[in-house]
């Protein structure tokens, strides 16, 4: 009995020892700022000296601000358009990286993963240089091949394409690794049994691999959705929200209001509402996918 008490004690210590650092970080960098932010949303805080209670004035202003709705609408459109690429491209990479027929898998995996290690702002600035209308590498190559240079920065569709390209390029490696984990966890016996029963690779993929990857796919969809909704550093590096305000998404709207215009209270109100909207989207995803395929 004494032994089992000591054993539980050791387990408890070990548990708290491993969890404590994450808990501390969670408190410091999420919970406390969240509480502060909600508090500021009811004030006219300018980030420094002015702090007066204004009740729901910030929320009232936000719901009448057409730029808020435009930014939110652009964010949703951007997310919907890019989500399929965030799932299918890494899945394709993962299938190739785990296939016995593909040579040079190790090198390919490394090259695909390297962009994940770069900061989003560095990616954005590098892509901006590559796609610069005047001196960019892409337009240089297009002209060398006899084509006309494209106005990446002036056409909002092209500008959004450039951001999407940068976003997919920088994150494909991360989601590929997640899919690879899911694929390698599939019981080999099932795949062998399918092969013995005469299933070809397409049938195996659609009827065995893909269904068994449901929880992994759900995780990738959820993470991609949240990251697309929160896209900022990349946009700032590539287009700075232009042309006009055509690539100003909701996070940039919040940062402009808070840090450039010193309207911390208003920005806090917008970010709180944005958090609720993103939470609802994540909740809907959970329910639609039967809680990640677990049920």
Residues in contact with other proteins by CB under 8 A are 3-4, 6-7, 10-11, 13-14, 17-18, 47-48, 125, 128, 132-135, 151-154, 159, 237, 239-247, 256, 259-262
| Cβ-based nearer residue to other proteins, 214 or 256 | 256
187 and 260 Cβ atoms separated by less than 8 Å: no
Q: Which is nearer to other proteins, 248 or 289 (CB)?
A: 248
Dist CA 134 CA 259 (whole Å): 31
Nearer to other proteins, 212 or 250 (CB): 250
Q: How many helices (H) and strands (E) does the chain have?
A: 15, 0
Q: What is the Cα–Cα distance from 171 to 182, expressed in whole angstroms?
A: 17
C-alpha–C-alpha distance, residues 48 and 243, integer Å:
32
Cβ proximity to other proteins: between 47 and 292 the closer is 47
Query: Which residue, 159 or 273, has its beta carbon nearer to other proteins?
Result: 159
Smallest distance from the beta carbon of 82 to other proteins, in angstroms? 19
Q: Is 176 left (phi over 0), alpha (psi -120 to 50) or beta?
A: alpha
Minimum CB–partner distance for residue 228 and other proteins (Å)? 20
* Closer residue to other proteins in complex, CB, 101/135: 135
CB of 23 to other proteins, least distance (A): 15
Distance CA 123, CA 58 (A): 34
SS3 239: coil
**CB 68 within 8 Å of CB 270:** yes
Q: How far is the CB of 131 from other proteins (least distance, A)?
A: 9
For residues 156 and 201, which CB has a smaller minimum distance to other proteins in the complex?
A: 156
Q: What is the DSSP string of 107-166?
A: HHHHHHHHHHHS-HHHHHHHHHHHT-TTT-HHHHHHHHTT-PPP-TTT-HHHHHHHHHHH
From the CB of 242, what's the least distance to other proteins, in Å? 2
């Amino acid at each position: 009995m004494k032994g089992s008490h000591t054993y539980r004690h050791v387990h408890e210590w070990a548990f708290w020892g491993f969890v404590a650092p994450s808990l501390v970080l969670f408190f410091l960098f999420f919970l406390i700022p969240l509480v502060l932010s909600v508090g500021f949303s009811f004030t006219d805080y300018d980030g420094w000296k002015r702090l007066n209670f204004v009740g729901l004035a910030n929320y009232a202003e936000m719901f009448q601000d057409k730029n808020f709705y435009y930014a939110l609408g652009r964010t949703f459109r951007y997310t919907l358009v890019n989500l399929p690429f965030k799932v299918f491209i890494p899945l394709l990479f993962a299938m190739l990286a785990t296939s016995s027929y593909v040579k040079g898998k190790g090198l390919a995996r490394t090259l695909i993963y390297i962009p994940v290690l770069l900061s989003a702002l560095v990616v954005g600035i590098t892509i901006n240089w590559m796609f610069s209308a005047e001196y960019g590498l892409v337009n240089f190559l297009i002209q060398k091949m006899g084509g006309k240079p494209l106005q990446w920065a002036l056409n909002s569709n092209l500008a959004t394409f450039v951001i999407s390209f940068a976003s997919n390029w920088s994150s494909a490696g991360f989601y590929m690794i997640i899919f690879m984990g899911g694929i390698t966890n599939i019981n080999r016996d099932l795949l062998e049994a399918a092969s013995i029963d005469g299933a070809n690779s397409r049938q195996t993929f659609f009827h065995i691999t893909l269904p068994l990857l449901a929880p992994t796919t759900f995780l990738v969809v959820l993470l991609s959705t949240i990251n697309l909704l929160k896209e900022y550093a990349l946009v700032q590096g590539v287009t700075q929200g232009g042309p006009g305000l055509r690539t100003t998404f909701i996070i940039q709207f919040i940062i402009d209001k808070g840090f450039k215009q010193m309207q911390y209270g208003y920005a806090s109100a917008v970010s709180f509402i944005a958090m609720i909207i993103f939470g609802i989207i994540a909740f809907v995803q959970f329910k639609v996918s039967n809680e990640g395929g677990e049920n």
